[in-house]
Amino acid sequence: MQLEDKTIIITGASSGIGEAAARLFASHGARLVIGARRRERLEAVAADIGKAGGRAVVVDGDVAEEAFAARLVETALSEFGGLDGAFNNAGTTGEPGPVAQMDPANWRSVLAVNLDSAFFAARHQIPAVRKPGGSIVFTSSFVGHTIGLPGMGAYAAAKAGIIGLTQVLAAEHGPEGVRVNALLPGGTMTEMAGHDADFHAFVRGLHALKRMATPEEIAAAAMFLLSDQSSFVTGTALLADGGNSISKS
């Protein structure tokens, strides 16, 4: 029960890695505030968690809006009396394409959902977790960190920005006992990955393990960063990428 008696926020919890994290964290004793835009999907996840003996409270909204970040924290405080950690996982790739031809609206949207949301999360979560053992995790990416993937300029810029923000937050709040880390998944079989078999084969080939991750595998890495098992880990960009970053074959 790695997260027993911990209250944790998860964004992007209606599907993919976020949903897998919600189910895994609940099974390890966490009390959850789960957020995403699709309320019906969130309620289905929360219902399943409840049937299994856990507890998850639903807050629907858009991570690009600061008011949503505030509501997530307020709900954790009102429902569970505090906040111990957060997995800020929601994100988007936007419309891929060369930077020189990219619509500025697409650029702004990708940065809003991925990077502005991290800023808003930190503004509201840090005061609530400001205590020894507090842990905040942001989902970043190997894109923009270990490789430059053509067509992914906005996504790469946003995800690289998350790593820089993570490092500063870890330095600012380490003396208070708060840990802040970024998790960098490799290719993962989620809705965002689509259903194109040829594309999946291509992505598998980029990884040293020659496969894509399951959402549960990435959720397990997030749980490590949120649990006391990672008590001396902060300011990191933790790769859970199946060897993507080191594979050239």
Distance CA 52, CA 6 (A): 17
SS3 249: coil
Closest CA relative to residue 185, chosen from 12, 2, 4: 12
Check if 155 is active-site.
Answer: yes
Burial of 15 (0-12, 13-18, 19+ CB in 10 A): middle
Measured CA angle at 25 (ends 14, 10), to 5 deg: 40
Contact present, 215 and 171 (Cβ < 8 Å):
no
Contact present, 229 and 2 (Cβ < 8 Å):
yes
And the tokens for 124?
Answer: 């509201």
Phi, then psi, of 7 in degrees rounded to 5: -100, 125
User: Could you say which of 42, 138, 155, 183 is catalytic?
Assistant: 155
- Annotated catalytic sites, by residue? 155
